[in-house]
Every structure is written in C-alpha cells, then in structure tokens.
Amino acid sequence: MTSSPSSRLPKAELHLHIEGTLEPEMIFALAERNKVPLKYASLDALRAAYQFKDLQSFLDLYYASMVVLRTEQDFAELTAAYFTRAHQQGVVHAEIFFDPQAHTQRGVAFQTVIDGLWSVIRDSETRYGVTSKLIMCFLRDQSAESAMATLESALPYGERLVGVGLDSAERGNPPSKFQAVFDRARANGLKAVAHAGEEGPAAYVWEALRLLKVSRVDHGVRSLEDPTLVAHLRDEKTPLTVCPFSNVRLRVVDKLQDHPLGKMIDAGLMCTVNSDDPAYFGGYVGDNFDGVSKALKLPQATLVTLARNSFEASFIDVTERQRYLKLVDEASHTAFVGASAEPALPNETASQLTPNPA
Ligand code: HPA
Ligand code: ZN
C-alpha cells in the first residue's frame, strides 16, 4: 500500500467499526477456513455488490459478510489487520466500535468476540504504535431489552471498554428508545456516544445530547438543518465524528465536493474526520483526509485543526493528549498536502469519490 499524503499527520480515529474493516480478501479467507458458504463466487462478484443506495442497503451486506467471523482468532486477526493499515495512515490512537449483537444473535459468544478483540487491543501500542480503546455499540434496530441484556453481559468486562455507542438503522429508531440503557452504562462509568443525524433528523441529535448525554455525536451532518442545534454544538464544543467517504457511499451527500464538512468547520463546529467502514467505503482515514482536502480545497492549517480536534475529542488522559498534540504541532511544520493527492487505495470507489479535475 502506498502511503497517503496526510499519513504524515498524526491523528486519532474515533469513528471506526471494526467489522467495517473486513476486507473482501479476508471475507473469502475466513469463509474457507470456517467453512461458511458465501453468496459470491469471486472477489470481483463480491466487490460488485458494494453499491449502496442508502444506509440499510449497506447494513444488509455488512451483516451478511460478517458471518465469516466465528472464532477468537478471527476477531484478533481482523483487529490486527486494522492496526497495520491505520498505522500506515498516521493513526496513533483509535477508539474502536464493535457490534456484539451482530455476533451473539448468530451464536457467537460475547466472550469470543471481546477476547479476540482484546487480545490485540491490549498491546496495540507496543505491537503497532497505536494506543486504542473499545466502544461497544448497541444495534438501534433491535429492542431496548436486547441492548440492556448486552450491556449486562458486557459489564463484567467493563475494564476493557471506554464507552458505549449506538449504531445501525437510524430512521425510526430514535435515541430515546435507549435512554435507560445509556443511563445504566453511564452509571457504570462508561462514556456515551451515538450515531445521530446521519440519515436521521437533527431532532435525533438533540435526543442523543439531552437523553443519552453523549460526549460526541457520530456523523451529525444533518445538524446543519437546525441553526439552534448548530449554535448549541458550537458553544458546547461537542465533537462530531464526520465520515466523508461513508456519507458519499451511503448517499447522504451526492459527491465529496458537496460534503458539508467545510460548512460545519466554518460554523465553528468541532469536527473530526474518520473512515467509518473503510473496507466498504473506499479508503481508510488518511484517504478520507486526502479526499476532503482535495475535493473541498481545505488548506493544510484546516487539516492540522482536524487532527488536533481528534485528540481533543478522544477519551485519552491529559498527559497522553498533550503528547499527541505536540506530535501534531511538530508535523504541522512539514508539508503533507499537495505532492500526490491521489487516494492511497486507488480503486473504483476512490475514483468515484474524487473525480479527476478536467
Ligand atoms: N451508520 C450506522 N450504523 C453503522 C454504520 C453507519 O455508518 N456503519 C456500521 N454500522
Ligand atoms: Zn458509523
């Protein structure tokens, strides 16, 4: 893999679903190892299915593909592969989502999932030079009872988790549905984040803030539809974990040039840039930085601010934060925009995302 220009910029990734890093090659390798039948005859046939019309059409393939993950070793290898790629793109800290219900409901034990992830997370710093934390997400299209049962099974492993999140199909599944679950998670010392304002309305962002008491909003791009909310997010410095390639691939926006990130920054919002499900959306976090820098003509100073925000918004302690901010300051003196602004993973998606200038 070639390294992307902004890979020289140290950054934290705060919105990354580990199951969304399952690359097509790994899907086939694990299917063979675990004797799981696949619907697709070849890598090309699988990749051809990566055309999404909305969040749900992506989620259908995302859940169908992850059935190849069965053993602790599978979850460990998936996580290790992510760290290798993330490190190459300048990630020095990652706060990683996982979706336990997507595994337990098909017969994989919670312990298998958490032990596999933890075996790599535990020493990601010494093995990959990336510090990391785990955030357990609830599937919002499942019941609140199922989320509460998942929380109960996770609490004995509470030391391994920094927080809880909320993901999956947003429309019709407002944050309010999970208020009691989030209350219990926070009472047990877990931080709260939630996907809101991706496909759902700005009202869901308000609910995530007021009812779930989230520290960050995942996506949140539709917040722009409510000026009072924008002012609130700005005044409270609430971080938004924005995922530009994801928003294009899931048709939240038509093309990268139309992405509202520039407007959000101009409105004074504390934005970060992230990859969401990089194996499905055409690039890892450095590629997202390169993509928006080129498509929105963001100056280097803005990329530096985005990188600084990623540490400000992270759940690391003060000492670690200072250490990372210093790294950003040092890197800001070298040029990492320009040279080659081609995406690091020159595939079909990347070229769709960033059309070549005429
Ligand atoms: N939105 C909601 N749920 C998800 C996503 C997303 O972008 N990726 C994985 N689960
Ligand atoms: Zn997400």
Task: Name which of 237, 232, 190 is nearest 216 in CA terms.
Answer: 237
Mutate to test the pocket of ligand 1, among 13, 16, 17 (most ligand atoms within 8 A of CB): 17
Mutate to test the pocket of ligand 1, among 54, 58, 61, 204 (most ligand atoms within 8 A of CB): 58
Is the shortest distance between the CB of 200 and ligand 1 below 6 Å? no
Is the shortest distance between the CB of 195 and ligand 1 below 6 Å? yes
Q: Which residues make Cβ contacts (< 8 Å) with residue 167, sequence separation at least 6? A: 17, 97, 99, 137, 138, 139, 140, 195, 218
Is the shortest distance between the CB of 167 and ligand 1 below 6 Å? yes
Q: What's the confidence (pLDDT) of residue 244?
A: 98
pTM of the model: 0.94
Ligand in closest contact with the CA of 168? 1
Is the shortest distance between the CB of 17 and ligand 1 below 6 Å? yes
Q: What's the confidence (pLDDT) of residue 334?
A: 85
Mutate to test the pocket of ligand 1, among 22, 101, 243, 277 (most ligand atoms within 8 A of CB): 277
Backbone angles phi, psi at 106, to 5 degrees: -115, 20
Q: What's the confidence (pLDDT) of residue 5?
A: 81
pLDDT digits (tens, 9 = 90+) for 148-158: 999 999 999 99
Q: What's the confidence (pLDDT) of residue 3?
A: 63
Which CATH architecture describes the domain 5-94+190-352? Answer: Alpha-Beta Barrel (3.20)
Residue 245 token pair: 């390639």
Distance between CA atoms of 179 and 208, rounded to whole angstroms?
9
Distance between CA atoms of 243 and 15, rounded to whole angstroms?
8
Q: What's the confidence (pLDDT) of residue 337?
A: 67
Side chain identity at residue 337, one-letter code: V
Q: Where are the domains of the chain?
A: 5-94+190-352
DSSP per residue, 239-282: EEEE-HHHHHHTTSSSSGGG-THHHHHHTT-EEEE--BSHHHHT
pLDDT under 70 in the chain at which residues?
A: 1-3, 337-358
Is the shortest distance between the CB of 168 and ligand 1 below 6 Å? yes
The burial of 9, by beta-carbon neighbours within 10 Å (0-12 exposed, 13-18 middle, 19 or more buried), is given as buried
Active site residues: 198
Q: Ligand 1: distance of its center to the CA of 16 in Å?
A: 9
Distance between CA atoms of 21 and 17, rounded to whole angstroms?
7
Strand partners, 217: 194, 240
Ligand in closest contact with the CA of 251? 1
